[in-house]
Amino acid sequence: MHNRNIWFWLFLTPVILGLGLVVVVPFIYGFIFSFTDWNGITATKFVGLQHYINLFQEDEFMASIWFTVKFAIITVILLNIMGLGLALLVTRNIKTNNLLRTVFFMPNLIGGLILGFIWQFIFVSVFEDIGMLLGVESLTGWLSTTSTGFWGLVILTAWQMAGYIMIIYIAYLENIPKDLIEAAKIDGANGFQRFKNITFPLVAPAFTVSMFLTLSMAFKIYDQNLSLTNGGPFNSTQMVAMEIVRTAFSDQQMAFAQAKAVIFFFIVAVIALTQVYYNKKREVEM
Amino acid sequence: MKKNTEKRNLLSIEVLGIILGLIWIAPFYLMIVNAFKTKREIFSGVLGLPETLNLDNFVQAFIDLEFLKSLFNSVLITGVSIVIIILFSSMAGYALARNKSKLSGVLFLIFVAAMLIPFQSVMIPLVSIFGQANMLNAAGLIFMYLGFGCSLSIFLYHGAMTGVSKTMDEAAIIDGANRFQLFWYIIFPLLKPISVTVGILNTIWIWNDYLLPSLVLSEANATIPLKMFFFFGQYTKQWHLALAGLTIAIIPVIIGYFFAQKQIIKGVSEGAVK
């Protein structure tokens, strides 16, 4: 091996070790052990597809998947509407636009765990007091039922991440040539026509990017789930990520939990690969 | 005439923006206001202002959170991880971009593909393997952050390398520099803008990470989010203390955001759109 290759490998060794020992080896190891009776340390025999058959029959896991899917669909729609709305707002020529960007983006910098605790206070105490003050009964008892827990998680996530999606839309909106808009104005196009015929088509790629980004974020949420509802009441607001953590570290069923983790990987990978496919297709069209 | 309607439109947009902005920060406002109240005051209402500006809650939360210690742990773990990620990922991005062999292409693809794997899919074997190697400690955690953080970072550095001309390399080699000198004195400084982006993206994630430290660190070495979790569990139904603790935990982030706002928003935008 000559000199050229030695430095190539020297430069790559740290990250190959890092990715290898932290991601690749555990991933393969976990995949293999999901077909055994592994207890986290040793495995004594192969059980074939037994864990995979069991997990599809386990109500709790399937419920967590449906809960996550419902949550993901609603947050993706909401986040994109809010993100685009906020982006359109702060790209207008208003005095406060920088300050507003700062404010809308701020929740993204704070961890989901802390934000979940803050919103627990908002939903439980603040909503209660506002509800009593205005005599609105539906504002009381939040997070104590499945549906208020669900909507609590949606509101928290939308509030936390809308600023992030806003940043993505801003990047695309600011790339729209100003003279295009001016030309349309001179031609007599009104605000709605300008949005529909110029802004929207040019911002459409941002929609693909942020839709998949939010979709995979929504699927992987754990911290907010833990601190806001802790899966309750009666595990009815438990998302997939939390269900896997609990199967492993509370129930100590390592191999079974790992089988769920493998299924989880396939779901997330399919979402991500679909995005890659669409992006490539779009680039070809452009 | 037309100018006037446009001005009026902008004014109403401005007002709408300000109202939304206030709604956005309302949770933080409510947190801070109630953190000053006594338990009795919170019980009688959370919407009003506190009777006095009493700092007792903050003092107790500060002590119970062992805040200086948790802050130190968070700074140490995040800081060392970021330095390591920036250094090793930039080296790797450079090596992969300069070597045009098939193997180099395959390695790059593996690094990018690893981004598809969600944390929960490797978490259980990871903890098991590192546990058996006695590496469930701060050093092990930092190494794990390198493993999880290097993919996106290498991807960003690899992309940035297209803007660095190869003549740089050749000139330095002719002048007698070895590869490390060439990289450190010539290439790395040119990659500074992307290093800022890589640093910001990884800081946001590592600073706030809860699940991985909860599986790796003992309570004695807890970072802020981990300590916050224990603290909150201790004070359920005692919102006056819990809210004071949450306020304290957020302060370092707000200070960081205040000073590096522009870079943060730029970094996040670059990381997301690419």
Contact B191, B157 (CB under 8 A): yes
pLDDT attached to residue A169: 93
Contact B222, B213 (CB under 8 A): yes
User: Which segments of B101-238 does DSSP mark as H helices, in order?
Assistant: 102-113, 119-132, 138-161, 166-174, 179-181, 188-190, 192-208, 211-216, 224-234
Cα A164-A169-A170 angle, rounded to 5 deg:
95
Does the beta-carbon distance from A113 to B16 stay under 8 Å?
Answer: no
Model confidence at A283: pLDDT above 70: no
Nearest to A118 by CA among A74, A67, A160: A160
Does the beta-carbon distance from B95 to A27 stay under 8 Å?
Answer: no
Cis before A107 (ω within 30): no
Does the beta-carbon distance from B21 to A104 stay under 8 Å?
Answer: yes
pLDDT attached to residue A4: 63
pLDDT attached to residue A1: 44
Q: Does B83 touch chain A (CB under 8 A)?
A: no
Query: Which residues does B169 contact at the CB level (< 8 Å), separation at least 6?
Result: B98, B182, B186, B187
**Each residue's pLDDT tens digit, A21-55:** 999 999 999 999 999 999 988 888 999 999 999 99
Of A36-40, A153-157, B166-170, least confident by mean pLDDT is B166-170
Domain ranges across chain A: 51-285
Identity of the highest mean pLDDT range in A88-92, A160-164, A197-201: A160-164
Is A51-285 CATH 1.10.3720.10?
yes
Amino acid sitting at position A148: T
DSSP, residue by residue, A108-146: GGS-HHHHHHHHHHIIIIIHHHHHHHHT-GGGSSTTSSH
Reading the block at residue A64, the tokens are 């967590």
Nearest CB to A22; choose among B24, B121, B143: B143
Cβ-Cβ contacts under 8 Å, A214 against chain B: none
Cβ-Cβ contacts under 8 Å, A117 against chain B: 228, 232, 242, 246
Of A109-118, B52-61, B145-154, least confident by mean pLDDT is B52-61
Nearest CB to A213; choose among B21, B253, B272: B272
Domain ranges across chain B: 2-54, 66-234
Cβ-Cβ contacts under 8 Å, A19 against chain B: 110-111, 114, 147, 150-151
Average pLDDT over every residue of B133-158:
96
DSSP code, position A24 = I
CA distance B238 to A115: 17
What global pTM score does this model have? 0.92
Cβ-Cβ contacts under 8 Å, B261 against chain A: 102
pLDDT attached to residue A285: 64
Instruction: Determine the 3-state secondary structure of A208 from DSSP.
Output: helix
CA distance B269 to B248: 28
Q: How would residue A195 be classed by pLDDT, with cut points 50, 70 and 90? A: confident
Average pLDDT over every residue of A98-105:
93
Average pLDDT over every residue of B264-272:
86
Reading the block at residue A218, the tokens are 């929504």
Q: How far is B253 from chain A (nearest CA, A)?
A: 7
State CA B106 to chain mean position distance. 29
Per CATH, the architecture of B66-234 is what?
Answer: Orthogonal Bundle (1.10)
Q: How far is A145 from chain B (nearest CA, A)?
A: 18
Query: Which residues does A38 contact at the CB level (< 8 Å), separation at least 6?
Result: A254, A255, A258
Contact A283, A206 (CB under 8 A): no
Does the beta-carbon distance from A222 to B94 stay under 8 Å?
Answer: no
Query: Which residues does A113 contact at the CB level (< 8 Å), separation at least 6?
Result: A223, A224, A226, A227, B208, B210, B225, B228, B229
Q: Which neighbouring-strand residues pair with B82?
A: none
ipTM entry: 0.93
Please, what is the average pLDDT of chain A? 91
Amino acid sitting at position B162: T
**Each residue's pLDDT tens digit, B63-113:** 999 999 999 999 999 999 999 999 999 999 999 999 989 999 999 999 999
Does the beta-carbon distance from A244 to B120 stay under 8 Å?
Answer: yes
Of A89-98, A228-237, B152-161, least confident by mean pLDDT is A89-98
Average pLDDT over every residue of A229-240:
93
pLDDT attached to residue B178: 87
pLDDT attached to residue A73: 94
Beta strands in A141-248 (DSSP E): none
A-B contacts (CB, under 8 Å): 258
Reading the block at residue A112, the tokens are 């989901």
Cβ-Cβ contacts under 8 Å, A106 against chain B: 24-25, 257
Model confidence at B1: pLDDT above 60: no
Torsion on CA atoms B138, B143, B148, B151, rounded to nearest 10: 150
Length of chain A: 286
Does the beta-carbon distance from A104 to B24 stay under 8 Å?
Answer: yes
